[in-house]
Structure 1
Amino acid sequence: MNRENEIAACVERALDTYFQDLDGETPTGIYDMVLACVEQPLIEKILHFSQGNQTRAAEYLGINRNTLRKKMAQYGIE
């Protein structure tokens, strides 16, 4: 299994657990919830990997540096 499939499988298992734990409640905002759960640690890891170099981190992520800075502010990442 390649890394992308491992990540997808992990998200799938987490969502299975989430749906089981709903106990009849109607889910809302799942997309934003999953994005926030994945995006914050992703950005933190990439910043660590790039030794805090935001330009390099943005390149690794395939996003604009300004977008990275906005997301860092959104999640309180310094």
Structure 2
Amino acid sequence: MSFEGTHYSPRVTGSFAVAKTKKKEPLREVVRDALVHYFDQLDGTQPNDLHQLVMQQVEQPLFETVMEYTGGNQSKAATLLGISRSTLRKKLAQYEIE
């Protein structure tokens, strides 16, 4: 999976919005870059529960975006995600997504 085309998205840094151009990049590379940045920010501190942290950071926007994409239709969202509606409902409750 890769992001198609170039997109403009404002990024807020401090009190200033900065224009950021996104290039085509496979999702796995975006994740890898984010993890490298995360480790750089640790400044030698050992992370705890990294798998859980990453899953939460990825799952919540995944479910939010899919729910928005499907117009809130849980059946369509569950099918798109390849999970059952009951699992979807549990995740929506877990992340407090309406």
Superposition TM-score, scaled by structure 2 size: 0.73
Of 9, 20, 25, the match for 2:45? 25
User: Larger % of strand: which?
Assistant: 2
How many residue pairs end up in the alignment? Answer: 77
Structure-1 residue corresponding to 2:91? 71
Q: Which residue of 2 aligns with 1:45?
A: 65
| Larger helix fraction of residues | 1
Aligned to 1:6: 26
Residue identity over aligned pairs, in percent, reads: 45
- Runs of at least 5 residues in structure 1 that lack an aligned partner in the other structure: none
Q: Which has the larger radius of gyration?
A: 2
- Partners of 1:18 and 1:49 in 2: how far apart? 29
TM-score by length of 1: 0.90
Q: Which of structure 1's runs of 4+ aligned residues deviate more than 4 A?
A: none
3-state DSSP class of the match of 1:11? Answer: helix
Task: Supply the RMSD in Å over aligned alpha carbons.
Answer: 1.4
